[in-house]
Chain A
């Protein structure tokens, strides 16, 4: 048992005890909320299908790898290992496929190498920006997202730079 295993049960326990104390009809409130949750889930289904469809076509076409092979001399000059580059590009698009890449890096180099540590920090410090944006905006029917995408990707790039800087500072 880890300490983090206690977080979810404690949250659930606290919410229910607090609700009973405040005389909320907890049973009815739960059903009402569950209904709302299922509705949201059904509402986001078309958004998910639409987005995953586009992401999969892009990923399976292999076009990213070709683009990256053009860019690799630039990254080599910056002393960034070649095999980490696909991860930087995939991370904002798809969480599961970037995790597969981290797994591949661990398999070929081991988790305790420079590239292994860099991959760990990279995967841990940012999120799937493009996926989250389309899901969250799509769920409430926002059409114009203004500067959200640029802002999100900017934070991701900062995360990539920070990962490289801090892995170098803390380990080497």
Chain B
């Protein structure tokens, strides 16, 4: 992450200067933080509301129940987490929110899941095996109904805005499957 971040900035700035476009960087230095601030402001109430609800779900034992229900699927994926641990419930909630295309609800669940996984982590500076598996599941984009795309297709006058759902599901399944396969391979290699 360290190198990637530095590379993004160095490449960006050098290229801008080389093409005589230094003004772009100047503007970005002055205004760049605004978009991040806007994101946080939009995210703050969402985080508060969903974390509030999730705390109720956690206290009532609903999360543990959810994680026990889904343990046949999740346990093989997360062998390091004991059965019925709350983090599995949070991972499930994040996945469910993603699957239904509720991106705004998925982030609070995901961040809570990371916190919970960090509590189980032995070395707090190094990513645990479970964290990486969770992020592969998350970023390979398990989405059942890509709502944003469907509405965008509708806006552009598509004859059949939902015709891409099947291809989308198959592709997302394919990428998740191979992502997890690679994950198993890499985690064994490093362990």
Contact = CB atoms under 8 A, between A and B. Distances in A.
A134 B114 contact: no
Contacts of A7: 100, 102
B111 A143 contact: no
Chain A's interface: helix, strand, loop or mixed, by majority?
helix
Interface in B140-174: 140-141, 143, 145-149, 152-153, 156-161, 163-164, 166-168, 170-172, 174
A171 B168 CA distance: 12
Contacts of B183: 151
Contacts of A162: 170-171, 174-175
Contacts of A66: 15
Interface residues of A, number: 98
Nearest to A2: B147
A77 interface: no
Interface stretch (A18-26, A68-76, A80-88): A18-26
| Residue of A4, A61, A128 with highest tally of chain B CB at under 10 A | A61
B59 interface: yes
Interface of B: 1-2, 4-5, 8-9, 11-13, 15-16, 19, 21, 24-25, 28, 32-33, 35-37, 39-40, 43-44, 47-62, 98, 100-102, 105, 108, 110-112, 114-115, 117-118, 124-127, 131-132, 135-136, 138-141, 143, 145-149, 152-153, 156-161, 163-164, 166-168, 170-172, 174-176, 178-179, 182-183, 186-187, 190
Given A34-B51, A111-B156, A112-B158, A151 B36 contact: no
Interface string A110-135: 11100011001101111111101111
B16 A56 contact: no
Contacts of A143: 2, 125-126
A89 interface: no
Given A11-B53, A125-B168, 11 more contacts: A21-B60, A34-B49, A36-B51, A57-B13, A61-B13, A116-B153, A137-B1, A142-B126, A145-B132, A155-B176, A170-B167
Contacts of B8: 54-55, 57-58
A140 B114 CA distance: 7
B143 to A, nearest CB: 6
Contacts of A21: 60
A152 to B, nearest CB: 5
| Residue of B111, B126, B171 with highest tally of chain A CB at under 10 A | B171
B132 A106 contact: no
Interface string A37-53: 11011101100111111
A53 B53 CA distance: 32
B15 A60 contact: no
A88 to B, nearest CB: 13
Contact of B143 (A125, A140, A156): A125
Contact of A147 (B33, B51, B132, B170): B132
A162 B118 CA distance: 33
A50 B126 CA distance: 20
B182 A151 contact: yes
A133 B139 CA distance: 8
